[in-house]
């Protein structure tokens, strides 16, 4: 299925041309596209990319290593659940931080 990937790439290029977004936006866009199509490797790449910053955010607020790890894992679980339900989640990093912050608040 070459056409959907080509179409997605065209959308990203037009978006970048119009709004001047960084390369990170396009790489995240393609990761999300691949994750939604069931690519487990893309899911792993996504977690590897954002896990350190989300874990650090949790640890700085909670000061408990095990609890920070649990909340970080729960953050990604909730993110992937929301990703499969919603068509547009907005800014990915902001969405991850907001999920993490809500989970910390409920702790």
Q: Looking at residues 88-96, what average pLDDT do you find?
A: 87
- The answer to whether the CB of 68 falls within 8 A of the CB of 101 is no
Look at residue 11 and tell me whether its pLDDT is greater than 70: no
Look at residue 43 and tell me whether its pLDDT is greater than 90: yes
CB burial of 8-30 (b: ≥16 within 10 Å; e: otherwise) equals beeebeeeeeeeeeeeeebebbe
Please count the other Cβ atoms lying within 10 Å of the Cβ belonging to residue 6: 10
Look at residue 26 and tell me whether its pLDDT is greater than 70: no
Residue 9: pLDDT band (50, 70, 90) is low
What integer best gives the mean pLDDT of the chain?
83
Residue 58: pLDDT band (50, 70, 90) is very high
């Amino acid at each position: 299925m070459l056409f959907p990937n080509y179409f997605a790439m065209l959308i990203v290029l037009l978006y970048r041309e119009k709004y001047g977004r960084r390369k990170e936006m396009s790489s995240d866009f393609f990761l999300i596209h691949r994750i939604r199509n069931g690519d487990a490797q893309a899911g792993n790449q996504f977690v590897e990319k954002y896990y350190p910053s989300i874990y650090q955010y949790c640890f700085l607020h909670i000061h408990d290593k095990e609890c920070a790890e649990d909340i970080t894992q729960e953050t990604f679980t909730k993110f992937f659940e929301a990703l499969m339900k919603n068509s547009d989640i907005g800014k990915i990093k902001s969405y991850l931080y907001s999920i993490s912050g809500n989970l910390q608040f409920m702790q």
